[in-house]
Amino acid sequence: MCGIAGAYRWPDGKAVADRLTDTLAHRGPDGAGRYSHPAGDGDVHLGHRRLAVVDLSGTGAQPMVSGGLALTYNGELYNAPELRAELERASVRFRGTSDTEVLLEAWRRWGTDCLPRLRGMFAFGVFDERTGELTLVRDQLGVKPLFLLRRGTGLVFASELKALAAVTGGSLEVDPAALVASLLYYWVPDSRCAFREVEKLPPGSWLRCAPDGRVERGRYWHLRDVAAAGRERAAGGERPDLAAVVEESTRRHLLSDVPVATFLSGGLDSSLLTALAARHRPGISAYTIGFRAEDARFEAMPDDLRHARRVAERFGVDLHEIEIAPDVHDLLPRMTYHLDEPIGDPAAINTYLICRAAQEAGVKVMLSGMGADELFAGYRKHLANLVALRYQRVPRPLRRGAAAAVDRLPVATARRGYRSVRFAKRFLSFAELPEETAFRRSYTMYDRDELLALIDPDLAGTVDDVLTEHADVYADNALDSPADFVNRMCLADARMFLPGLNLAYTDRSSMAASTEVRVPYVDVDVVEAAFAVPGDRKIVGRQGKAALKEAAATVLPRDVVYRPKGLFSAPLRAWMSRDLAPLVREVAHDGVLVRSGFLRRDALARLVAEDAAGRRDFSKHLWHVLTLEYWYRGATSGEFG
């Protein structure tokens, strides 16, 4: 796992590439490398920061140059041993044991045809000295990031947005549409970027620049096609062996020359991965989190620690417990900087603190259960949307009465919060809407009218563009799952929610702590198996993630498998009502976003008042306003540059 950067036919390219690379030092504290070569009328400069995980010797250093090809690569190939053996049978000789060298030789032999054969997480740039062409590639599901900026015939790229902001001297402009999308979702979709001009290379695609200025794009893998193939497999009666597929993926993700540990919340996904990892690496370490007792009590959070302890004891795992009692005033601006874009999920703080603790203990690689909820319908929103279809059949007078009664209930008092009331209010906010709108509303922050009331009225057209983008993706999904509501939701999550939020904050938070996080559920074989499972096997009755739970029951105790779902989140209501209350009031009254006119002071004041009174739970909304405020301050003051 590393940081990559480069400049192609860019003014003062060497100095630019050097600064890009230096900005990424936290992603690779084990080494730095540079490469330069003429490229037609310009030149190419590649940079690399190394976090040494496989082949710790100099033969794994990058950029790797061999036989007219130069490669700067971030990621891991989990099928590198098989590809190496195949290439060796074709008389390829390897100098070391790194997967970087395997990738370089696979590219030499097969070019872009090698891409569908790669199993892993990766983003890389490869330069061909003979043709003068630079090709950029991103993995199938968008686990690893790759930002790029084109001006004229020149291009710069990097693993992080802040690096590109640094080399452009603060000339990048904030994109208001991305900020609107961020307010809606509390993250910026992978299809957008917080700065104009900059783009994220789409998952499963490549981009090639030629010396004459031509730019060619290609897609080698598309999730929608995988889902369509899975539907055909399911229609033919195929039932994938999920237990075997997940175990095989977990085994491959343990490939490392340095210590590996796991996240262990005590929930299904992390417990299954930890148990499977312990089979193949006995005595493996795991890390779990807890919260200050008063925060957990106020938030009405379940006690997940006891479940994590039980799993660790059962499978001989060395468990490390970390209490999350952060100085949020200090962490908020720091995390906003590291996250690159305004991301309002406080789980990013949890990830960072866990990874920092692991890194301090000498652990460089962590396995995470990320992705299982999206692929196997494990979120509450999936079940809630199914329940909403039944709720709509309840006579209207009864629905009105229920809604009025719930509306009168408080979400919190001065001493505690009421989670069930929060869930009920959330459910009623989308339960009567059409399918696509209801699904979007079930996991976004505002409906259209609420969002319009919060922001500059001149951005009304932008709001509609953002909403249309979600509707278009959802309609596209329906082409492949016309009668399967559950898999339509899973496909939308895997295309938008997973790369835009969960994979994004996981990569940026972990790399801020110089730690690699691997995601065995977000593996091409696991994804293909997941979409071969019909929706009525993913949600059975009131049981979400039913197919995965059935597989996990062959490994884990049933009470671990079937216990209520926990949350990898943070006690936001406690933070907002105590640690951050003065800051919230300050930002809502006189923040940069309010003074600029982007956010409306009166609308923010209503959110603050209703949340403080316990009538509505706006803690997540206000947390995101804080993250957006700090991000905007940095973006407009040159902090990122």
Out of 10-19, 195-204, 474-483, least confident range: 474-483
8 Å CB contact between 254 and 280: yes
The predicted pLDDT at position 326 comes to 64
Q: Where in the chain is the domain with CATH 3.60.20.10?
A: 2-174+185-221
Structure tokens at 486: 């559950």
DSSP string of 479-521?
TT-TT-HHHHHHHHIIIIIIIIIIHHHHHHHHHHTT-EEE-TT
The predicted pLDDT at position 578 comes to 76
| Domain range 2-174+185-221, CATH architecture | 4-Layer Sandwich (3.60)
The predicted pLDDT at position 301 comes to 57
8 Å CB contact between 12 and 151: no
The yes-or-no verdict on residue 297 having pLDDT over 70 is no
Question: Is pTM, for the whole model, over 0.85?
Answer: yes
Between 252 and 394, residue with greater pLDDT: 252
Q: What is the per-residue pLDDT across 72-83, written as a single tens digit (0 to 9) for each?
A: 999 999 999 999
User: Please, which pLDDT band fits residue 209 given cuts at 50, 70 and 90?
Assistant: very high
Instruction: Compute the distance between CA of residue 610 and CA of residue 264 in angstroms, rounded to an integer.
Output: 36
CA angle 401, 406, 410 (to 5 degrees): 150
User: Please, which pLDDT band fits residue 329 given cuts at 50, 70 and 90?
Assistant: confident
As a whole number, the mean pLDDT across the chain is 91
Instruction: Compute the distance between CA of residue 500 and CA of residue 178 in angstroms, rounded to an integer.
Output: 12
In the predicted model, what is the mean pLDDT of residues 160-177?
88
The predicted pLDDT at position 24 comes to 96
Q: Where in the chain is the domain with CATH 3.40.50.620?
A: 224-377+502-561
Out of 214-228, 432-446, 577-591, least confident range: 577-591
The yes-or-no verdict on residue 363 having pLDDT over 60 is yes
Look at residues 145, 157, 118, 112 and name the one whose alpha carbon lies nearest to residue 20.
157
Which CATH entry fits the domain spanning 224-377+502-561: 3.30.450.20, 3.40.50.620, 2.60.40.10, 3.40.50.300?
3.40.50.620
In the predicted model, what is the mean pLDDT of residues 572-596?
87
Alpha helices for 368-502 (secondary structure H): 372-376, 380-391, 396-408, 419-428, 435-443, 448-454, 460-478, 485-492
The predicted pLDDT at position 464 comes to 95
% pLDDT > 70, the chain: 94
In the predicted model, what is the mean pLDDT of residues 566-590?
79
What is the phi/psi pair of residue 288, to 5°? Answer: -135, 165
Q: What is the per-residue pLDDT across 511-560, written as a single tens digit (0 to 9) for each?
A: 999 999 999 999 999 999 999 999 999 999 999 999 999 999 999 999 89
Instruction: Compute the distance between CA of residue 471 and CA of residue 211 in angstroms, rounded to an integer.
Output: 39
Q: Is the preceding peptide bond at 63 cis, omega within 30 degrees of 0?
A: yes
Q: What is the per-residue pLDDT across 562-572, written as a single tens digit (0 to 9) for each?
A: 987 765 567 77
The yes-or-no verdict on residue 299 having pLDDT over 80 is no
% pLDDT > 90, the chain: 73
The predicted pLDDT at position 293 comes to 64
Between 52 and 616, residue with greater pLDDT: 52
- For residue 7, CA distances in Å to 34, 45, 126, 156 come to 11, 5, 12, 4
In the predicted model, what is the mean pLDDT of residues 352-367?
94
Q: What is the per-residue pLDDT across 454-506, written as a single tens digit (0 to 9) for each?
A: 999 999 999 999 999 999 999 988 766 667 999 999 999 999 999 999 999 99
